[in-house]
Structure 1
Amino acid sequence: MLTEKTMEKLRILAESAKYDVSCSSSGTVRSGKKGMVGSTVGGVGICHSFADDGRCISLLKVMLTNYCMYDCAYCINRRTNDIKRATLSVSELEEITMEFYRRNYIEGLFLSSGVVRNPDYTMERLVAIVRDLRTVHRFNGYIHLKTIPGASQELLQEAGRYADRMSVNIEIPKEESLKALAPEKNHKSIFLPMSQIQQGVLENKEDRRKFRHAPRFVPAGQSTQMIVGATKETDLDILKMSNAMYKQPTMRRVYYSGYVSVNTYDPRLPVLKQPPLVRENRLYQADWLMRFYHFNVDEIVDDAHAHLDLDVDPKLGWALRHPEFFPVDINKAPYEDILRVPGIGVKSAVLIVNSRRFNRITSYHLKKMGVVMKKAKYFITCGELTSAFSQPVIGINELRPERLRPLLLSKAQQRRAAAEKQLMLDFGNDDNP
């Protein structure tokens, strides 16, 4: 039975956990088993999101404690902040998870914690929770566990036997900026557990090839998070770090969190009127291009364009900078070229390539496939001279990018981008990175 005191602790700790956005989908399939409680959703995973069928998926996102020995400038839970503090016992958190699951409030658990005493002490308690949930309470749902940097490899190995996904947040992409805002942290303490988890996953794959029923180790891989706008790092710096992370075989997602001014009194931090949400969104779009659209990071951002264009999405921005690539012939171009056309997504590109084997594609077909013709019509040709949608008399090469650009911007987009450009960025001392 959950007491009023326990629920008050939960309220405080859930509030403290809301700034961590890396609530990754699981990517695992675990069907219900006799004697176990729950299952994971096949092919969908667990996150604060909507499934393909429109169903809302939820999980309990909570910290074990918001007390912390570190004083990171960007964190609401830093030790010098005067906020309400709370700590749940191991048994309390287990009881909350199982009670909420039985009431159908949640489908899984996202568990993190502030660091108390030392990393091993904190990690040991987190491991105790996930171990008890699996072995004592027979919980078969999704578990995402935040790793404590500096914890021993033995504890990480044990945690990986019970968690579906584990994550370590990079926070800041450059070491010097991280040291300026979080003097007790460094990249080595972050990358070491990442590599240890990766090693465990790869070894487990080999074991499962030899022994079919070998227990799984972090089957949904890893994720991480970077804060956007707290330091002077450019989008080029952020995306280069993301690109390096995705080259690791177990990294599934990199999350981007627009900096929220929670500690305005600290002179090391910028003063923002609001979080840089448009920039955050552009980074997610660029991330998508790297993962699914065959773009290299150097094509999206480079030394001449170190920041993403806030007015247009990164794919349209690339197209406007490379008019020589267009027009793309929908009926002849390879799949990779079709993916680069603004207004055409992965599903539409697959439909185009599969359908043109049987019939010539026209603008009518493209609309039916979900292509955004308002954008795509300036960058494609499909052999029609009279259609209002394809092969326009004036395309990108005739209009020129500088004239085409305003035609593709909605008034709402212009207003949002202009508002973000007006944000006051004040990093205090210019010597800070």
Structure 2
Amino acid sequence: MERIEEKLAILADAAKYDVSCASSGSDRKNDTKGLGNAAPGMGICHSYTPDGRCVSLLKILLTNVCIYDCAYCVSRKSNDVKRAAFTVQEVVDLTINFYRRNYIEGLFLSSGIFKDPDYTMERLVRVAKKLRTENNFNGYIHLKAIPGASDELIREAGLYADRLSVNLELPTEAGLKLLAPEKTRPAMIRPIRFLQHEVIRLEDERKVLKKVPTFIPAGQSTQVIVGAAGETDMEIVHMASHFYRQFQLKRVYYSGYVPISNDTRLPGIHSQVPLLRENRLYQADYLIRLYGFQAHELLNEGHPNLDTDIDPKLSWALRHLDCFPIDINKADKMLIARVPGIGLESARKICAARIHGALGWDQLKQMGVQINRAKYFITCKSRSLERKELAPEQLRQLLLTQSHSKWLKAHTAQLSLF
């Protein structure tokens, strides 16, 4: 038992650098009176940290032994760290025991590469297969698909896992060649493309056949490390947009580089990527996936990095003041959703409500619109609220001042409680 606890401490700590573990999107039901349930609202608890990390899964590596020597990776073969490896049965037992104690809702399992990709992938598949077939486990399972593993093993993994992910690791091929020369982008893209084709093939079969096996119902995702190779936010966001379009990925996750060595190819040992940069990338990603923004609208050669002071939507609006103000009672829903201070749900409510009559400021506020921000970009039935002809920089400073004042007021009120 002590040895298992030691392994768990080592391999859970090594897994913390992998952030692509969101569990939403699966609908694997428990129809066999088995253990666990990944159906929405039932077995899986969608618990996230503020920057999007899922905290509801047992998140471990099968091993931190690795044949590769990627400069940015804590598990690289040249790093002087304590090594450990679980057996397949140990991971199965840990998952079942933790689930029974209500510690977790599922399993997120990655791994260093033991001997070769197939050797490692085969063990990952065996964990998932044992959980499903021998333990009747219907909870959420997320596995890493190992680049270089055979199509047969990747396909089998997709039959038992709710989600598979292939880490692209670095946003650019140049960064990969510099910091992980043993790996190639084509080798990473191959399993991503294979999984995409398998999903499409089975969807087509489902139209004509009665019984078609469940295959990665939560889709596939990937992760990139931010800041290890000096890439711009533009390169990262354009890369993510490309993979969303080409391979229908569910999510791209961004992990700020954490200094782990004095390798001269890497940023300085004290150059940890600010969490705010991660957050801004997630915000830009959200705008691309859900709001209809194109990557080139948010970032281009003239604006290669996201603004740290303001969110990407506001930054875009300030650079396109010629598009505003828009009439809230006439504009298209997706154009309304581009207004700072108006989200998708508020845009939907606006379009549904204005059928019955023109809307004013009071009604917009009741629909969740942040009037103090949105008022500079819209008109409505009511008289204009403090509309001024302001230059982009003037409006930016005004909104920043208002935001700081609001934060200070809330912080002061919180302190007064003590």
Aligned pairs (5 A) from 1:39-58:
39-42=37-40, 48-49=47-48, 58=56
The residue number in structure 1 matching 2:370 is 372
Q: Do 2:28 and 2:162's aligned partners in 1 also have CA atoms closer than 8 Å?
A: no
The residue number in structure 1 matching 2:251 is 253
Shift of 1:392: 2.8
Amino acid in the other structure paired with 1:270: P
SS for the counterpart of 2:252 is strand
Shift of 1:43: 6.1
1:402 is aligned, of 354, 369, 393, to 393
CA distance in 2, matches of 1:163, 1:352: 40
CA distance in 2, matches of 1:57, 1:13: 16
Shift of 1:47: 5.2
The residue number in structure 1 matching 2:170 is 172
CA distance in 1, matches of 2:218, 2:311: 29
Shift of 1:279: 1.4
The residue number in structure 1 matching 2:140 is 142
SS for the counterpart of 1:24 is coil
SS for the counterpart of 1:62 is strand
Shift of 1:411: 8.7
Residue 50 and residue 118 in structure 1: after superposition, are their counterparts in 2 closer, same or farther (change >3 A)?
A: closer
Q: Do 1:46 and 1:142's aligned partners in 2 also have CA atoms closer than 8 Å?
A: no
The residue number in structure 1 matching 2:266 is 269
- Residues 283-332 of structure 1 show CA distances to partners (whole Å, capped at 9, x for unaligned) of 11111111111111111111111111111111101111111111111111
Shift of 1:82: 1.1
TM-score by length of 2: 0.92
SS for the counterpart of 2:365 is helix
SS for the counterpart of 1:404 is helix
Shift of 1:180: 0.6
The residue number in structure 2 matching 1:292 is 290
Amino acid in the other structure paired with 1:366: L
Shift of 1:185: 0.5
- Residues 334-378 of structure 1 show CA distances to partners (whole Å, capped at 9, x for unaligned) of 112211110000000000110111132111111111111121111
Q: Do 2:171 and 2:226's aligned partners in 1 also have CA atoms closer than 8 Å?
A: no
The residue number in structure 1 matching 2:28 is 30
The residue number in structure 1 matching 2:91 is 93
The residue number in structure 1 matching 2:410 is none
CA distance in 2, matches of 1:368, 1:28: 33
2:101 is aligned, of 103, 120, 123, to 103
CA distance in 2, matches of 1:83, 1:242: 32
Aligned pairs (5 A) from 1:22-421:
22-42=20-40, 48-49=47-48, 58-263=56-261, 265-271=262-268, 272-385=270-383, 391-395=384-388, 398-410=389-401
SS for the counterpart of 1:205 is helix
Is there any run of 5+ residues in structure 1 with no aligned partner, and where? 386-390, 415-433
Q: Do 1:229 and 1:276's aligned partners in 2 also have CA atoms closer than 8 Å?
A: no
Shift of 1:46: 5.7
CA distance in 2, matches of 1:31, 1:147: 23
CA distance in 1, matches of 2:193, 2:89: 31
SS for the counterpart of 1:248 is helix
Q: Do 1:13 and 1:86's aligned partners in 2 also have CA atoms closer than 8 Å?
A: yes
Amino acid in the other structure paired with 1:238: I
CA distance in 2, matches of 1:338, 1:412: 22
* Structure with higher helix content: 2
- Residues 171-190 of structure 1 show CA distances to partners (whole Å, capped at 9, x for unaligned) of 11211210110111110110
Amino acid in the other structure paired with 1:394: R
CA distance in 1, matches of 2:24, 2:387: 46
Q: Do 1:131 and 1:162's aligned partners in 2 also have CA atoms closer than 8 Å?
A: yes
Q: Do 1:29 and 1:42's aligned partners in 2 also have CA atoms closer than 8 Å?
A: yes
Shift of 1:50: 7.7
Q: Do 2:256 and 2:272's aligned partners in 1 also have CA atoms closer than 8 Å?
A: no
Shift of 1:249: 4.9
- Residues 2-37 of structure 1 show CA distances to partners (whole Å, capped at 9, x for unaligned) of x22112211110000000000122301123223421
The residue number in structure 1 matching 2:411 is none
- Aligned Cα root-mean-square deviation (Å): 1.9
CA distance in 2, matches of 1:43, 1:150: 36
Amino acid in the other structure paired with 1:223: S
Is there any run of 5+ residues in structure 2 with no aligned partner, and where? 406-418
Q: Do 1:26 and 1:46's aligned partners in 2 also have CA atoms closer than 8 Å?
A: no
Residue 248 and residue 232 in structure 1: after superposition, are their counterparts in 2 closer, same or farther (change >3 A)?
A: same
Amino acid in the other structure paired with 1:290: I
The residue number in structure 2 matching 1:428 is none
CA distance in 2, matches of 1:284, 1:293: 13
